[in-house]
Amino acid sequence: MDPPEIRKPSVRIVTNGSNALPNRNNTGTAKRKKVRLQPGHSALDWSHKVVTDGAKGLLITGLDTLVQDSEFQRLNAGTVMNQVAHRIPTYKIRPLMAINSKILKNHQDYLSKHDFWAVYKGKVYCLSYYLDFHPGGIEIIIDHATRDPPDIRGAFDRYHRWVSAEKLLETCLVGKYVED
Ligand code: HEM
């Protein structure tokens, strides 16, 4: 018996010649583009860093300048300042520290990336250490986090709604974002 005839699909697949995926795929999320991470920067390495350094509050940069910032002192008088002075990890401080756009801008050193904070769902996170672990690269986060308004929630959801940022950045929490 002759083998069944194999028919070519009638749908023509059109590419732009660079193997790029279309701008939006059928799940409604945006084009995916992974970067090559440095050795020691896998998701597993990040989980380890969170429970070691993060738990001790060591994943937060810029605290020395923060406590001297008069705008920060104005917004966070009393019990919060006390906890910061006692070096309580910021993710444990209650009520959360209040950060406005003026304070945030002093911690968005996107050229050296040594002190980089971003707003996600109304909370301020320190991404200085996480940036090198981000599978989508550093620039895309910096680009969105330095826009006005600064909340990266929309962009985040367009690329990976399924990722739990709150969990990944649990110990990178600086405080809550407040309007000026
Ligand atoms: C403006 C904000 C952000 C944008 C536009 C963005 C974009 C991207 C892109 C383009 C990728 C590569 C997608 C792929 O090919 O898999 C990616 C992957 C990823 N990003 Fe982001 N990202 C943002 C913020 C964040 C933040 C704050 C976190 C962590 C808390 C994060 C966690 C991840 C993870 C875990 C992956 C891997 C997802 C997977 O493999 O399924 N991203 N991101």
Instruction: Say whether pLDDT at 40 is over 90.
Output: yes
Question: Does 12 fall in a domain?
Answer: no
Least confident of 12-26, 117-131, 138-152: 12-26
What's the gap in Å between 154 CA and the centre of ligand 1? 12
Tokens representing 67?
Answer: 């406590």
d(CA 78, CA 29): 44
In a domain, 9, yes or no: no
**Residue 30, in any domain of the structure:** no
Q: What is the spatial distance between Cα 27 and Cα 63, in angstroms, rounded to a whole number?
A: 40
Structural domain of 112 = 43-177
Atom of ligand 1 nearest to the CA of 162: 41
Q: How far apart are CA 133 and CA 50, in angstroms?
A: 12
Pocket test for ligand 1, best of 33, 132, 156 (most atoms within 8 A of CB): 156
Within a domain: residue 88? Answer: yes
Q: Which among 41, 54, 47 is positioned nearest to 133, based on CA atoms?
A: 41
- Does any domain span residue 29? no
Q: Looking at residue 38, what DSSP letter applies?
A: P
Any idea how long the chain is?
180
State in Å: Cα 162 to ligand 1 middle: 10
84 located within any domain: yes
Mean pLDDT in residue range 135-158: 97
Instruction: Quote ipTM for the complex.
Output: 0.92
Task: Establish if 1 belongs to a structural domain.
Answer: no
Q: Atom 35 (ligand 1): residue with closest C-alpha?
A: 163
E-strand ranges in 25-114 read 97-99
- The three-state secondary structure class of 109 is coil
- The atom of ligand 1 lying closest to the CA of 30 is 10
Looking at the 3D structure of the chain, how many domains does it have? Answer: 1
Ligand 1 binding pocket, CB closer than 6 Å: 32-34, 134-136, 140-141, 144, 152, 155-156, 159-160, 163, 165, 168-169
Q: In 3-state terms, what secondary structure has residue 135?
A: coil
**Predicted local confidence at residue 77, as pLDDT:** 87
Please tell me the predicted confidence (pLDDT) of residue 113: 79
- Cα(32) to ligand 1 centroid in Å equals 9
Q: What is the 88 CA–ligand 1 centroid distance (Å)?
A: 29
Domain containing 84 — which CATH number? 3.10.120.10
Give pTM, 2 decimals. 0.85
**What band does 6 get if pLDDT is binned at 50, 70 and 90?**
very low
Mind listing the pLDDT tens digit for each residue in 88-134?
A: 999 999 999 999 999 999 999 988 879 999 999 999 999 999 999 99
